[in-house]
């Protein structure tokens, strides 16, 4: 009798575990499995003249999955750097694309990214902390006038609500 009761509880436990696992695997409760909200930022400029982010104001909401597409349309490499932003998100991955094909994924904590001319990078993340961050900038030094791209206008603001 004891063995029968043990088997019944074991079977019941398996059924409950299966139901719980199935309900969690459909994406509910897993913030990284949401359909991402796509935001595109163009990195623009011309050596010796100006550099900027378009748009330079970015807004995000906590708990939502974003795919931030960074496209460098200029003749220079650029950084997308905001320590305060990086400290306020969970990075799911960085995805590198070439000719519309994924060629690499980077996982883990990311503090800044560097994108070379005519290339695109996707930063998949979930904001976890609210704030207003005025530290978005590009620290690359312009090779013609020896100023940072930030000094030439490549600055921005990020708001997480």
Q: In what order do the strands lie in the sheet with 57-60?
A: 57-60, 155-160, 131-137, 78-81, 112-115
pLDDT digits (tens, 9 = 90+) for 75-134: 999 999 999 999 999 999 999 988 878 889 999 889 999 999 999 999 999 999 999 999
User: Is residue 158 pLDDT above 80, yes or no?
Assistant: yes
For the chain, give the number of residues: 161
What is the mean predicted confidence (pLDDT) over 2-17?
Answer: 53
Q: Where are the domains of the chain?
A: 1-32, 34-160
Phi, psi of 112 (to 5 degrees): -155, 160
Predicted TM-score (pTM) of the model is: 0.79
Tell which residue, 71, 120, 64, 114, has the closest CA to residue 92: 64
Q: Which fold would CATH assign to domain 34-160?
A: Immunoglobulin-like (2.60.40)
pLDDT for residue 74 is more than 90 = yes
Tens-place pLDDT, residues 95-106:
998 887 888 999
Residues 128 and 90: beta-carbon distance below 8 Å: yes
């Amino acid at each position: 009798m004891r063995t029968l009761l043990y088997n019944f509880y074991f079977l019941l436990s398996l059924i409950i575990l299966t139901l719980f696992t199935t309900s969690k695997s459909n994406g509910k409760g897993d913030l990284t499995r949401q359909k991402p909200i796509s935001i595109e930022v163009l990195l623009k400029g011309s050596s010796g003249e100006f550099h900027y982010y378009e748009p330079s104001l970015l807004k995000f909401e906590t708990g939502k999955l974003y795919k931030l597409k960074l496209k460098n349309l200029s003749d220079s490499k650029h950084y997308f750097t905001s320590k305060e932003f990086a400290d306020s998100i969970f990075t799911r991955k960085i995805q590198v694309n070439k000719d519309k094909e994924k060629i690499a994924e980077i996982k883990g904590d990311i503090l800044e990214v560097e994108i070379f001319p005519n290339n695109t990078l996707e930063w998949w993340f979930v904001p976890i902390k609210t704030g207003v961050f005025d530290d978005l900038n590009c620290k690359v030094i312009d090779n013609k006038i020896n100023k940072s791209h930030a000094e030439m206008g490549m600055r921005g603001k990020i708001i997480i609500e």
